Amino acid sequence: QVSVINTVDTSHEDMIHDAQMDYYGTRLATCSSDRTVKIFDVRNGGQILVADLRGHEGPVWQVAWAHPMFGNILASCSYDRKVIVWKEENGSWDKMYEYTGHESSVNSVCWGPYDFGLILACGSSDGAISLLTFTGDQQWDVKKINNAHTIGCNAVSWGPAVVPGSLIDQPTGQKPNYVKRFVSGGCDNLVKLWKEEDGQWKEDQKLEAHSDWVRDVGWAPSIGLPTSTIASCSQDGRVFIWTCDDPAGNTWTAKLLHKFNDVVWHVSWSITGNILAVSGGDNKVNTSSSPGAEPSTEASPSSACVFCR
């Protein structure tokens, strides 16, 4: 039975734009228009404010937890064009790194799979995507893809660490040769796939289906199956599911999951990649089913919808 296990009153002074729990589900980070990021300990249904992170000078749009093998690290991005990486050391949270290389609001941050180390992708309204890699010893390596999306980039999401042309046998015992891939969505109505080749980021695929700004993209986690799946949602109210069975990753097919009456601004995959939560500006949740998938749960009274497959 789906049940509410906790209700956290964040006491943010303005609207909340993102809420995310850490890897273990013990802490909750929220960010708001009041320019703060808050971290709560939510174990056992409690809510203890652990930290109130101030440093952004504009509304904070999104937060992202890094894998715990790197320590307790949280990234946040804001309207003030900054990306801040926060780290907990000896119980107190501090700025670990501040990136100011964007010329407009940074709309999305996403940490890469831990196999790649500490790597953060940031999408900004200046159209660029930055990739920040921690190289140890307080140093961050910055790679920037300029003009990744004309007008602006709204969302980034990493692909799971899998071997290209998956499951082709390879010498065992060696570290698998993972390829870094991520997906982005932008104001040019496109979903783009990026791949690192010889240390350079290249546009791998360009997926066209949306008729308005793409607001969010989500690469489904892999459970070991060779199919790659991406969800994208847009201002046009449509949610598309993109799948690719091709080991080379070149042929993507789109399937319209659902068309809402208003903007859809977030998609989120469950850990096993078989449930998709979709949320948007629409107050009505349309519960009609679409082929292959149907909204199975109306999770929130106002704006979320969950699809199972």
Q: Which amino acid is at 25?
A: G
Segment 204 to 263, residues that bind another protein, using CB under 8 A? 211-213, 215, 221-227, 235, 237, 245, 247, 261-263
Q: How far apart are CA 146 and CA 138, in angstroms?
A: 25
CB of 194 to another protein, least distance (A): 20
* Complex with another protein: residue 21 or 140, whichever CB lies closer: 21
Part of the chain binding another protein (CB under 8 A), chosen from 9-17, 132-140, 197-205, 250-258 = 9-17
* Complex with another protein: residue 271 or 288, whichever CB lies closer: 271
Q: Which of 30, 130, 184, 205 binds another protein (CB under 8 A)?
A: 30
34: left (phi over 0), alpha (psi -120 to 50) or beta: alpha
* Complex with another protein: residue 174 or 200, whichever CB lies closer: 174
* Complex with another protein: residue 149 or 180, whichever CB lies closer: 149
Binding mask 42-81 for another protein (x = CB under 8 A): x------x--x-xx-xxx-x-----------------xx-
Q: Which of 283, 287, 289, 292 binds another protein (CB under 8 A)?
A: 283
DSSP letter string, 9-33: ----SS-EEEEEE-TTS-EEEEEET
Q: Which residue has the tokens 């980034």?
A: 156
Residues whose CB is less than 8 angstroms from the CB of residue 201 and which lie 6 or more positions away in sequence, other chains included: 129, 131, 143, 145, 194, 195
CB of 279 to another protein, least distance (A): 4
Question: Does 179 participate in binding another protein (rule CB under 8 A)?
Answer: no
Q: Which of 73, 82, 132, 152 binds another protein (CB under 8 A)?
A: 152
Are 156 and 182 a contacting pair, CB within 8 Å? yes
Closest CA to 72 of 35, 109, 23, 38: 23
Segment 92 to 151, residues that bind another protein, using CB under 8 A? 104-105, 107, 125, 150-151
Question: What letter would DSSP give residue 103?
Answer: S
The whole-angstrom distance between residue 270's C-alpha and the CA centroid of its chain comes to: 12
Question: Does 301 participate in binding another protein (rule CB under 8 A)?
Answer: yes
